[in-house]
Amino acid sequence: MNEQDLERLKDLLLRQRQEIFDRLQGLESGWEALSERDIEREEEAQKVDLTALYDQLDNLEQQEIEDIDLALKKMAAATYGACEKCRKVMSLKRLEILPATRFCKRCTRKAEGKTRR
Ligand SMILES: [Zn+2]
């Protein structure tokens, strides 16, 4: 991987990170509007359901941010692009699609097979 590719992937990661924060902010303001409506209508059951949904989204996005930060750290340590499991260097094509991925295609598929069972 040359320096130019690395710069481009770093830009991708930083942009993804920004998008997640933007989305989180959007969710928060959506949540405020929702609470106001719920107080007006007193739809308690619906409110609980939506709270669970928002919590779930938060966790997913936290995970995404963790992966992105990890990828950025690996870039700084010059270990970026290698699969964490088999240590194989991943293709630039895969990294361009999933810049924050930690595992190569084969290891991801293997892990998914195990969890699905
Ligand atoms: Zn692997």
Q: Supply 36's token pair.
A: 């106001």
Provide mean pLDDT across the span 39-56: 59
- Bin 60: left if φ > 0, else alpha if -120 < ψ < 50, else beta: alpha
Whether 102 contacts 80, CB under 8 Å: no
Alpha helices, DSSP H, located in the chain: 3-41, 44-76, 92-97, 105-116
Task: Supply the pLDDT for residue 23.
Answer: 79
Task: Supply the pLDDT for residue 75.
Answer: 96
Residue 56 pLDDT level (bands cut at 50, 70, 90): low
Task: Supply the pLDDT for residue 60.
Answer: 80
CA of residue 59 to ligand 1 center, whole Å: 25
pLDDT surpasses 60 at 44: no
pLDDT surpasses 60 at 67: yes
pLDDT in tens, 4-23: 999 999 999 999 998 887 87
CA of residue 16 to ligand 1 center, whole Å: 23
CA of residue 96 to ligand 1 center, whole Å: 17
* Residue 58 identity: D
CA of residue 48 to ligand 1 center, whole Å: 40
Task: Supply the pLDDT for residue 61.
Answer: 82
Burial (CB < 10 A; 0-12, 13-18, 19+), residue 32, is: exposed
CA of residue 82 to ligand 1 center, whole Å: 8
Which of the residue ranges 60-64, 76-80, 96-100 would you say has the lowest mean pLDDT? 60-64
CA of residue 1 to ligand 1 center, whole Å: 17
Q: Supply 101's token pair.
A: 């991925």
What value does the mean pLDDT of the chain take? 83
CA of residue 43 to ligand 1 center, whole Å: 48
According to DSSP, residue 82 is labeled B
